[in-house]
Amino acid sequence: MIDHGTEEASFRPGLRSVLRRMRLVWKVNGLILVILAFMLGILGYLGTRALERAEIDMARDVSMVSSERIITRLEEVMMGHEAAELPALVNRMALENPAYRNIRLIAHEGRVVATQIPSDTLTVAEDLWPCIVCHLAPGQTPEVASETCCEVLEFENRERVLSVVTPIIIEDGCSTETCHPGLSAGSVLGILQADFSLARVDNLITQQNRHTALAILISLVVGMAITWMMTERLLGRRIRMLREGAMRLAEKDFSFRFGDTTGDGLAEVFGVFDDMTSELSDTLAELMGTKEYLQGIVENSADLIITVGPDGLIKSFNAGAEQVLGYRREEVIGKSIEMIFADPRDRTRAIEQMRNGDHVVNYMTRFVTKDGETRRVMNTLSRLRAADGTPIGTMGISKDITEELRLQVQLLRSKRLAALGQALTGIQHSIKNMLNVMKGGSYMVKLGLAKENLPLVTEGWEMVRTGIDDMTEMSMSMLDFAKTRKLKLRQTDLTELIFKVHELSRVRLQDLGIGMDLDVAPDIPRVICDTEGIQSVIMDLLSNAMDACLWKEYPEGERPQLILRAVVADQDGRIEIQVIDNGEGMPEEVQERIFVPFFSTKEKKGTGMGLAVVARIVESHEGETFVESVPGEGTTFRVSLPINGPGLKEEQH
Amino acid sequence: MPKRVLVVDDDENTRRFLTVALEENGYETVTAEDGDDGLKKVQESPPDLILLDVMMPKKTGFTLFKQLRKTEEYKDIPVIMLTGVAGALEEDEERAEGDTMESPFDSLRDTLSKAITKMREEGLVKPEVFIDKPIDPEDLIEAVRGLIG
């Protein structure tokens, strides 16, 4: 059996460890993804910066070259004193390259000489301030002033430009005094500012950023997919297995096993599951075994075991029933149970009796076999109840006692025959003894007559008469035994009766040298009985006891002794008379026959009727006679009588 | 010198007519009324023959018989047993070797039959003659003559 407590205890940590591992996988993967995204971001940013720098450098180089060219052209124009041409030149130059956002020529005193886009939004002071600081401020060192400088400017509309400022230096040999009074060679005459549009660069950067973002997104998606796949591999597949296992189990397929040996927490769960399945399988096998065992008991019982539903239709019919009734179960299941009863009212009565309880035990009824033969059965009917107590039918266990009853009748018959045989033997012995005396007597008569010896004739004749008398007595007692008479019931003082019997036996007891003790309980009540009948019972028992003493050889120091006792029996409402002797006793086979008429162990004495008559009188009082005897030690006869006498009915005596 | 016969029977009438019959035929008789008495009479003066009744109080004829057969001095005295089941006993004797079927109703015959079988097993000589009751005195005398002349 499964020990649920410990299994559950080991099952839970297993599951917890799996869940812990799951959370850990998600955490680690999340962290890796964040780091990956961050690094992709940084890489993107650095790439963008590098691109920007390269683009700007290139733009600067281009711009510087262009600026030199512009300045060279400017110088040519200026040399030809065609100052009026300057704005047009600037415009033309600017148009040569669409990347130019603006080109301005600014004189040293800060005056805008020419501009590609006439600008009234830009003031010299604000717009050109940085250039002026470096190139046009008085006292500016020539090295700094003569260098080209580049700067990225951002407008309010977020448009960026690379502003390249190239100083225009007065060269040696130029008659500055003429052209540029007050200025010496090497000083800054003015500046050319070329704004180179960075829109292309910005577009590139935007594009690059988009790519970076896409890369991050893709890597995140891929990372999540990988994590999902990992957890799926770790858990999902096996959870599906678990579900499948549970479903197979629900379908009563106990052969399913995971056999997982990966050793992780879930494997423990699978192990527990496999164990549980094994246990379930074993328990089921055990249950099936028990079921088969119980079915076997019912099936193999020689008794008829039949169950019936509440509708009175047969539900089960065991092999014993098939055997006795001759039906196959398929023939009777679903049919009314009444078909097997010789008288269906027997069943109705039993069911009615069952109202007071759930059983009717051992009632006799008759079943009819398929062949129409009647079988006597001892039936026990029990109500079947469901677990909640609702009646669901009845079960009958019946024993075929037809044969038993037949044997009983046979036994009774043979017992009667044996009793008759014993009686006849007894009669034969008695008659033989009487004939013996008569034959002897007649011999003497014959002899006396031949010798004319009258005394011998008389003596012989007396003997013949004795035999005739004995025979008469026997035939009288036989008649007596067969005769019916009414008991003369009256209140009888048993103590008085016992003393009377003692008085009557005293002389004979003295003659035979037998002692007798009287033991009458002081609380003996008056008993309703046929006084004369009970007196003869006690007399017969005493006479029997005296004979038992006569037939025994007493050892030295022991003498024949009788006890006549009367006590109130343990049993309510009865008294008991006991006659106890220390005579020869009887073996069991004799004890069994002593109440049979004419049975005698004494060849010449008595008629064999004494104890048979005793038993008959006691029975007519609704009393009982018992005998206990040990050969060589003595015998006790006990007569139990009801104090209030027998019920009012006529009895044979 | 007449032969002496001991008659052992508890019934007075039987003793009487047996005595008359024996004396009439020239035998001397002694009587005893039970087994004890019988033994006493044998010890006083051993008779030439004993007529022994089986069923007697105190000491049965059979007990006395066995006692005599076991005593060296008396074991050769011939015994005629008087019983109501003599015929049946003979039947039992005849089939003792094979079928041991007994009469189921007669306890006396049963007891005697067993006792005789037991005696034979002990190597004792069974009674010379069984005489059935009712006894015919003339048959008895014939049997007595056959034994002691």
Residue labelled with tokens 């008789």: B29
- The residue of A436, A547, A589 whose CB has the most chain B CBs within 10 angstroms, and thus the best one to mutate to test that interface, is A436
pLDDT digits (tens, 9 = 90+) for A427-449: 888 888 889 999 999 999 999 99
In angstroms, the separation between the Cα of residue B145 and the nearest Cα of chain A is 18
Q: Please give the average per-residue pLDDT across A642-647, as a whole number.
A: 84
pLDDT band at A358 (very low <50, low <70, confident <90, very high): confident
Residue A131 has pLDDT above 70, yes or no: no
- Is the pLDDT confidence value at A232 over 80? no
Q: Is residue A318 part of a domain?
A: yes
pLDDT at A417: 81
Do residue A156 and residue A227 come from a single domain?
no
Give phi and psi for A191, each to the nearest 5.
Answer: -135, 150
Homologous superfamily in CATH for domain B4-148: Response regulator (3.40.50.2300)
Examine residue A607 and state whether it is found in any structural domain, yes or no.
yes
Reported as a pLDDT band with limits 50, 70 and 90, residue A601 is low
**Of A3-7, A20-24, A132-136, which range is least confident?**
A3-7
A444 with B106: Cβ contact below 8 A: no
Interface test with B, best of A414, A430, A553, A584 (most B CBs within 10 A): A553
Cβ neighbours of A589 in B, within 8 Å: 107
Mean pLDDT, residues A171-191 taken together? 69
Q: Is the pLDDT of residue A130 over 60?
A: no
Of the partner residues B10, B20, B84, the one whose CB lies closest to the CB of residue A429: B84
* Domain match, A265 and A215 both: no
Token pair belonging to A56: 């700007």
| Interchain proximity B13–A550, CB inside 8 Å | no
B105:A550 CB<8 A = no
Do A309 and A292 lie in one domain? The reply is no
Beta carbons of B105 and A418 less than 8 Å apart: yes
Q: What percent of chain A stands above pLDDT 70?
A: 85
Tell me: pLDDT of B96 over 60.
no
A 169-228 residues inside an 8 A Cβ radius of B: none
Considering the domain architecture, whether residues A147 and A195 belong to the same structural domain is answered as: yes
Specify whether A532 is located in the same domain as A625: yes
**Is residue B63 predicted with pLDDT exceeding 50?**
yes
Residue A139: the pLDDT is: 59
Domain match, A449 and A555 both: no
**Which CATH number does the domain housing residue A523 bear?**
3.30.565.10
A553 touching chain B per CB within 8 A: yes
CB within 8 Å: A440 and B84: no
Higher pLDDT, A267 or A399: A399
A397 is a domain residue = no
pLDDT at A442: 94
Please tell me if residue B101 touches chain A, with a CB cutoff of 8 Å: no
Q: Tell me, what's the ipTM? A: 0.87
Confidence (pLDDT) at A34: 87
Dist. CA A72–CA A79, nearest whole Å? 10
User: Any idea what the CATH number is for the domain that residue A173 is in?
Assistant: 3.30.450.20
Number of domains in chain A: 6
Strand order in the sheet with A515-520: A515-520, A561-568, A574-581, A634-642, A624-630
Contact A428/B at CB under 8 A: yes
Q: Which residue has the higher pLDDT, B26 or A28?
A: B26
The confidence score (pLDDT) of residue A586 equals: 87
**A142 in any annotated domain:** yes
A101 touches chain B (CB under 8 A): no
CB distance A599 to A586 below 8 Å:
no
A460 to B17: CB separation less than 8 angstroms, yes or no: yes
Q: What is the pTM of this model?
A: 0.46
Report yes or no on A653 lying in a domain.
Answer: no
Q: Angle at Cα A445 formed by Cα A442 and Cα A448, nearest 5°?
A: 150
Supply the pLDDT for residue B106. Answer: 64
Does the structure show a pLDDT above 70 at A367?
yes
What is the arithmetic mean of pLDDT over A61-81? 79
The pLDDT assigned to A359 comes to 87
Whether A302 has a pLDDT exceeding 80, the answer reads yes
Together in a domain, A188 and A117: yes
Same domain membership, residue A463 and residue A357: no
B83: contact with A, CB 8 A cutoff = yes
Range of the domain at A272: 258-297
Greatest alpha-carbon pair distance for chain B in Å reads 48
Q: Span B83-102, mean pLDDT?
A: 60
pLDDT in tens, A467-512: 999 888 888 877 777 766 678 888 889 888 998 888 888 888 888 8
Q: For chain B, give every domain's residue range.
A: 4-148
Interface-testing mutation among A588, A592, A604, A611, with chain B (most B C-beta atoms within 10 A)? A604
Tell me what the pLDDT averaged over chain A comes to. Answer: 81
Residue B21 near chain A (CB below 8 Å): yes
User: Confidence band (pLDDT; 50, 70, 90) for A21?
Assistant: confident
Interface size, chain A vs chain B, as Cβ–Cβ contacts under 8 Å: 90
- DSSP assignments along A380-446, one per residue: EEEEEE-TTS-EEEEEEEEEE-HHHHHHHHHHHHHHHHHHHHHHHHHHHHHHHHHHHHHHHHHHHHH
